[in-house]
Amino acid sequence: MRTPLVIGNWKMNGTQAMARELAQAVRDGLKRPRGVEVVVCPPFTALPVAAEVLKGAAVALGAQNCHWEEQGAFTGEVSPAMLAELGCRWVLLGHSERRHVFRETDEEINRKAAAVMRHGMRPVLCVGETEEERRQGLTFTVVEGQLRAGLAGLSPEDVARCVLAYEPVWAIGTGVNATPGQAAEVHGYLRGLVSEVGSKELAQSIRILYGGSVKPDNAQALTQEPDIDGVLVGGASLQAPGFITIAKKSAARSGPSKE
Ligand code: PEP
């Protein structure tokens, strides 16, 4: 059974005061979430306050990025050890804004994934094609390259600790989500690849999230797809009531389990 996972990516939003209020509201709205695991990823500067608010809560803490080195002359960067020390259990890696705005490479993302796991945290490896790549029929080629490179050299045990997120670039922050059918097609392809690079068992147990303009009114249709194991939510995670609704709508319902 793959427990659905819902992650809120606050991006570069949130003063201390806003983060405190938002984290409190999410915590209080999801005291005992049933059939769903929930994570929020505030910006680095808001992690301590969010960690304080979420201590002992059912909502876990994640970061939006990290460097792969332990420490040193990397001005402006944050290391996995620093995040682990704050109580982060998850780290988003290879988000399309990191890939496209900050020109992160697959190789860097792969080094980050290994580093995150060395510190006991779990990576959320994001993959996804641009609008132009989809138009050219390159969706599968692009996500395959990103997945293979992102997981390269990781042991099967480490791959089992990863979560994948399919986030078509054209759907992020645009208000235009992939249809459940479009997303399910790519999720099925990614699951097949995990079976190839890992094993059938791994492919059945790994969670693959969808991200891109997820809102309270489309979360359920997306997560009802058997291969969609939750959602990565950007803009809509900044409003606690909507995010809580998304989490509840993504929860595993009684019915066929995702096995
Ligand atoms: C994201 O930041 O990962 C994302 C999917 O953003 P949005 O939900 O705003 O499209």
Predicted pLDDT at 43:
98
Pick the residue whose CA is nearest to atom 8 on ligand 1.
Answer: 234
Ligand 1 midpoint to CA 73 (Å): 31
The CB of 232 under 6 Å from ligand 1? The reply is: yes
DSSP letters along 114-178, please?
Answer: HHHHHTT-EEEEEE---HHHHHTT-HHHHHHHHHHHHHTT--HHHHHT-EEEE--GGGTTTS-PP
Predicted pLDDT at 55:
97
Ligand 1 midpoint to CA 172 (Å): 5
* 201-243 residue pLDDT tens: 999 999 999 999 999 999 999 999 999 999 999 999 999 999 9
Q: Which residue has the higher pLDDT, 255 or 1?
A: 1
Ligand 1 midpoint to CA 15 (Å): 19
Predicted pLDDT at 255:
44
Q: Which residue has the higher pLDDT, 184 or 14?
A: 184
Pick the residue whose CA is nearest to atom 5 on ligand 1.
Answer: 212
- Give the pLDDT band (50/70/90) at residue 37: very high
Check pLDDT > 60 for residue 254: no
* 92-147 residue pLDDT tens: 999 999 999 999 999 999 999 999 999 999 999 999 999 999 999 999 999 999 99
Pick the residue whose CA is nearest to atom 2 on ligand 1.
Answer: 234
- Give the pLDDT band (50/70/90) at residue 253: low
Rounded to whole angstroms, the Cα distance separating 169 from 161 reads: 24
Predicted pLDDT at 4:
98
For all residues of the chain together, what is the average pLDDT?
A: 96
Answer for the pair 90, 124: CB distance below 8 angstroms, yes or no: yes
Predicted pLDDT at 1:
82
The CB of 233 under 6 Å from ligand 1? The reply is: yes
- Give the pLDDT band (50/70/90) at residue 256: very low
